[in-house]
Structure 1
Amino acid sequence: MDPVIVVGAGPVGLALALALARHGVPSVVLDGGDGEVEQRTARTCVLRPDTAAYAATLGGARWAAWRTERRRQPVRRVELDALTSPLHIQQYALERGMRAALEREPLAEIVTGARLDELRQDERGVSAHTRGAPGSAGAWWRGSYLVGCDGARSTVRKLLGIRFPGRTSVERHAVAALRVELPWDGEALLHRDVPGGESEVVARPLPNGVWRLDWLLPPRGDLVTPDALLARIRDTLAAWCEEAPPYELLDTGVHIAHQRLARHWRSDRAFLAGDAAHLLGALGTQPVDEGLRDAVNLAWKLALCLHGRAPGGLLDSYEAERRGAVGARLRALDQALPLVRGGGGLRTLLSGASRGHLELLTDGHLGRGPLGASPCYGRSPLAPGQDTVPGALTVGAEPGSPVRDVPVTALDGTRGRLWERLGSELLVLLVAPGTHVWDSRHWLSAGLMPELAAVVERLPVPAELLVAESYPGAVAHTALVIRPDGHLVTALPGARTGELRACVEAVRGALAKEADAAGP
């Protein structure tokens, strides 16, 4: 099997290579840099709970709560726990951890100093040429597919001739990373109309007493000088603390949020992902989080096709699902920005807008509502229709949305969490109350388990059968079909094994209709 060529060694490219390896697919990551990851403490990313598994062992901070204040008055405090708190991590820590994991992975290779300058496709694969050292002829790389994860100025996107329309500089923030003691232990803060003149400041904790502070700036304006940034730090700390605390300034920067969406995310055997496909980041939306969703969505589909278990048309669903989801996020941003930043008049257009500016900003930062919630692929070309699954049941997650994390037991008796099992195979989760008190050898031969286990083993794609004591909204003997990326396909009565097979045929693209290309 020819490897998948991944262009770009940022978080999205590295995550894609790791996901492909988990599916047994080789990859080569073309890194245009020297392999060194710059340690920028102020450059961080916020991962939603369901994508935070990528960084589970790499550090980062979970927040105990999210606070909103206006002037000097508390407005709201949202309690958070391990299942609801985002993970806040420095991007360099995320990248270094992924690189270390890839170095231990025999199916993946990172090539440094490899800058793409030519791309050719044919019916069997992709050839990519990279520039070498000055005076050298460079090198050609051959792959089955190619994915451009090479950022906002993507060479892959330019070589494919794909347009990248949108808006520039919709938001600007001055950013500083400080080691300082603030009044809120482990709690993030959104503060509007800060005493001292700042219109909006966000403070988010990181490990080891470090905080990232973001000050909202005019979308276009003067450069932020060092003296001006130091004045902001001094005035903000004075507004928050009775006595201005000592601090250590670790890093600074200016973050500029753009809004762009590539016209197409696929061109024959080449794909776009991450910032090469979309730009966002205003009102708390998270570009790295969206890019990781691109990677996990595409990886399992490439794997099924390369292993000969799905038709090539399955890959069309990547653009339909992910471009549709990001397009919806950008439309929500377009509607929310005039309301939150001034202008109003859009309360009837954006669901939830009547709750106010601070609530909308909270949604974006915490992964809720149209600005932040995990995407639902209910209208995906892979969603089985009513004629395919006439006996579908209603559970606590609608079809196409991410599943909840619950305790599960595998057939070998291994116990863990549902999200820990995602990423490599299709999952069939049977809700069977009482199984936790019995050894697996007892319930494996009881009730409908033998028949269901036999059907799962004969499915046309690799699948694993798990058992859970309960699942929100599900009755006993419900079988949930879950994609490798954690999205619910459907829920069935466990005895309807014939419909289970038909459902899996839809998931692998055998029943897929032509993808709806509608979108911005």
Structure 2
Amino acid sequence: MKRCEVLIVGAGPTGLVLALWLSKLGIKVRIIDRTSGPGTTSRALAVQARTLELYRQLDLTAAVLERGHRVPAANLWVKGQVAAHLPFSVIGAFVTPYPFLHIFPQDEHEQLLIERLQGFGVEVERETELMGFNQDGQGVSAQLRHGDGLEEHCEANYLAGCDGARSTVRKALDIDFPGGTYQQVFYVADVQASGPALNGELHVDIDEADFLAVFPLAGSGRARLIGTVRDERAEHPDQLRFEDVGQRAIEHLKIQIQQVNWFSTYRVHHRVAEHFSRQRAFLLGDAAHVHSPAGGQGMNTGIGDAINLAWKLASVLRGKAQPGLLDTYEIERSAFAQRLVSTTDQVFNFITADGRVAALLRTRLAPRLIPRLVAFKTAREFLFRTVSQVTLNYRYMPLSTGNAGHVQGGDRLPWVAEGGRDNFNCLNRMCWQVQVYGAVSASLVQWCSGHGIPVDVFIWSEAHEAAGLVRDAVYLIRPDGYIALARSNADAQVLEDYFEERGLRPG
């Protein structure tokens, strides 16, 4: 019998990132997957800025940037012309070190994560299926079946279900998965093509014709097409070929296709599990929430789930926190998933709605309003912050408290690169830490030193003020880079009370 501390079911990006984070924190994991090998098609594409920021803790960001394709701008097309041009580099220049959309196909992404996981001596156990499990106050007892038919009994402290929308773990926990399925059928095609929409930027046609988005892939003339299938063609999507889908939107974007490398159809679901955990078992990624592909949020949200849960599991397993800390996983991530499904629903309905009124909104009103809207700096930043997930926060939740200026407990730490110092470099550490912009008391530094909490002090500047930070305020930062406590006049007792009230032990 193989025993581990965390048994991870599912080796997609969510499960692999969870395994990596836990392994780096010294937690013994097993990760199983019922498939015979990693995916070979580029399903999810977008790696958002917030994911790139968090990947710095695993030294993954540079490799992702090197292997993928940077998308500098998005274009909205109407009636065969570009109606709006949105340069990410201008919009997000002072928001994040990564002011762009990054394309890194899921199959390549998974391979990179697998390689890094092997560096910790962990292999994905393929053709291994979870048959069932029991749990009690002491741990989880799981029954596994291997590809050769042999069955195995596995003991673990905790179980993580990263096994997709048809999750075996979720079904075994008898957790409802309310929501529905959109009527529209989508197609996805990886193509070799030419034309003005093959310039390395994102292009979206919002005309009255079939919806179409063109995502650039690495390499000249390579792109991913995502479009709708309408009318009677949608009745039997499994029988469709690329030649059967509508060509109007493709013609509107002036795309000349030379070769189709991959083609598939699918329906989009929108569901959120009623609970993200039960006792010692957790749901992450598509096992917990599925939504429309609008905005490229799916994979990034699953990765966010993994990072949120990983440090909490490690803290409890190493005696640095009471088991109640794990309750905050559902509180924080379920709230975000609900908001995300609601937001992507609205966007999805706008871009796919049929009828004369819907067509008028997309072709007449939107082309006029969107350019005017994005002319305002605040509107551009709001759009970028939302899509890139840097605006995601855990305000008013159990681990979040206090405020200093515009920054509140639960917020992502504002990024500032000033005077040769990047305040995100400190976040590469997977630990509790404190940042102060200005002066810090010797007693607070002494208390932090005695509890193993690094303190980074930055010389106050106008750039810090512009980012919403407050001079001499104390920002206590969680191991996942989010602010736990923000206080203008904080002393050592404030930090002492924070940890004691939540049953946490730093260091």
Q: Deviations over 1:333-373 (max 9, x none)?
A: 445555554489xx9xxxxxx9789969999x976549966
| Residue of 488, 491, 494 corresponding to 2:486 | 491
Change (3 A) 1:420 1:245: farther
- Offset, 1:72: 2.4
Q: Deviations over 1:473-494 (max 9, x none)?
A: 2233233222222222232347
Q: Is the 1:383–1:506 Cα contact (8 Å) retained in structure 2? A: no
Alpha-carbon RMSD: 3.5
Aligned-partner SS, 2:307: helix
Inter-partner Cα distance in structure 1 for 2:129 and 2:188? 30
Q: Is the 1:149–1:274 Cα contact (8 Å) retained in structure 2? A: yes
- Offset, 1:88: 1.6
Inter-partner Cα distance in structure 2 for 1:336 and 1:212? 20
Aligned-partner SS, 1:33: coil
Q: Is the 2:49–2:389 Cα contact (8 Å) retained in structure 1? A: no
Q: Is the 1:15–1:98 Cα contact (8 Å) retained in structure 2? A: yes
Change (3 A) 1:312 1:355: farther
Q: Is the 2:212–2:250 Cα contact (8 Å) retained in structure 1? A: no
Aligned-partner SS, 1:254: strand
Aligned-partner SS, 2:475: strand
Inter-partner Cα distance in structure 1 for 2:284 and 2:214? 29
TM-score, normalization by structure 2: 0.81
- Offset, 1:505: 4.2
Q: Deviations over 1:76-95 (max 9, x none)?
A: 21111353322221100111
- Offset, 1:192: 1.4
Letter in 1 for 2:393: C
Match of 2:449 in 1: 457
- Offset, 1:468: 3.6
Letter in 1 for 2:143: H
Inter-partner Cα distance in structure 2 for 1:103 and 1:426? 27
Q: Is the 1:429–1:465 Cα contact (8 Å) retained in structure 2? A: yes
Q: Is the 1:171–1:282 Cα contact (8 Å) retained in structure 2? A: no
Inter-partner Cα distance in structure 2 for 1:163 and 1:188? 36
Match of 1:215 in 2: 227
| Residue of 85, 88, 93 corresponding to 1:80 | 88
Q: Which has the higher helix share?
A: 2
Q: Is the 1:171–1:258 Cα contact (8 Å) retained in structure 2? A: no
Match of 2:400 in 1: 383
Q: Does 1:13 align with 2:19?
A: no
- Offset, 1:465: 2.3
Inter-partner Cα distance in structure 2 for 1:478 and 1:207? 44
Q: Is the 2:408–2:486 Cα contact (8 Å) retained in structure 1? A: no
Q: Does 1:474 align with 2:473?
A: no
Letter in 2 for 1:323: S
Alignment map for 1:221-260 (pairs within 5 Å): 221-224=234-237, 229-230=242-243, 236=249, 238-241=251-254, 245=256, 247-260=258-271
Inter-partner Cα distance in structure 1 for 2:26 and 2:327? 21
Match of 1:50 in 2: 50
Alignment map for 1:84-103 (pairs within 5 Å): 84-103=99-118
Q: Is the 1:204–1:211 Cα contact (8 Å) retained in structure 2? A: yes
Q: Deviations over 1:125-172 (max 9, x none)?
A: 111110134553x11111111111011111111111111121023543
Q: Is the 1:422–1:484 Cα contact (8 Å) retained in structure 2? A: no
Q: Does 1:305 align with 2:300?
A: no
Aligned-partner SS, 1:498: helix
Q: Is the 2:431–2:479 Cα contact (8 Å) retained in structure 1? A: yes
Letter in 1 for 2:477: I
Q: Is the 2:433–2:454 Cα contact (8 Å) retained in structure 1? A: yes
Q: Is the 1:150–1:276 Cα contact (8 Å) retained in structure 2? A: yes
Alignment map for 1:26-45 (pairs within 5 Å): 26-34=28-36, 36-41=37-42, 43-45=43-45
Q: Does 1:180 align with 2:188?
A: no
Change (3 A) 1:226 1:126: closer
Inter-partner Cα distance in structure 2 for 1:369 and 1:157? 29
Q: Is the 2:38–2:107 Cα contact (8 Å) retained in structure 1? A: yes
Q: Deviations over 1:312-334 (max 9, x none)?
A: 11111101110111012223344
Q: Does 1:159 align with 2:154?
A: no
| Residue of 419, 428, 431 corresponding to 2:434 | 428
Q: Is the 1:170–1:259 Cα contact (8 Å) retained in structure 2? A: no
Inter-partner Cα distance in structure 1 for 2:13 and 2:491? 41
- Offset, 1:404: 2.8
- Offset, 1:236: 4.9
Inter-partner Cα distance in structure 1 for 2:160 and 2:340? 22
Letter in 1 for 2:200: G
Q: Is the 2:52–2:98 Cα contact (8 Å) retained in structure 1? A: no
Match of 1:61 in 2: 69
Match of 2:362 in 1: none
Aligned-partner SS, 1:294: helix
Inter-partner Cα distance in structure 1 for 2:249 and 2:349? 26
Q: Is the 1:201–1:216 Cα contact (8 Å) retained in structure 2? A: yes
Q: Does 1:121 align with 2:129?
A: no
Aligned-partner SS, 1:50: helix
Match of 1:514 in 2: none
- Offset, 1:424: 1.3
- Structure 2 residue runs without a partner (length 5+): 90-96, 359-364
Q: Deviations over 1:285-311 (max 9, x none)?
A: 521111011100101111111111111
Match of 1:191 in 2: 205
Paired residues in the alignment total: 466
- Offset, 1:498: 2.3
Aligned-partner SS, 2:196: coil
Query: Would you identify which runs of 4 or more consecutive aligned residues in structure 1 move more than 6 Å?
Result: 354-358, 360-363, 370-373
Alignment map for 1:131-150 (pairs within 5 Å): 131-134=145-148, 136=150, 138-150=151-163
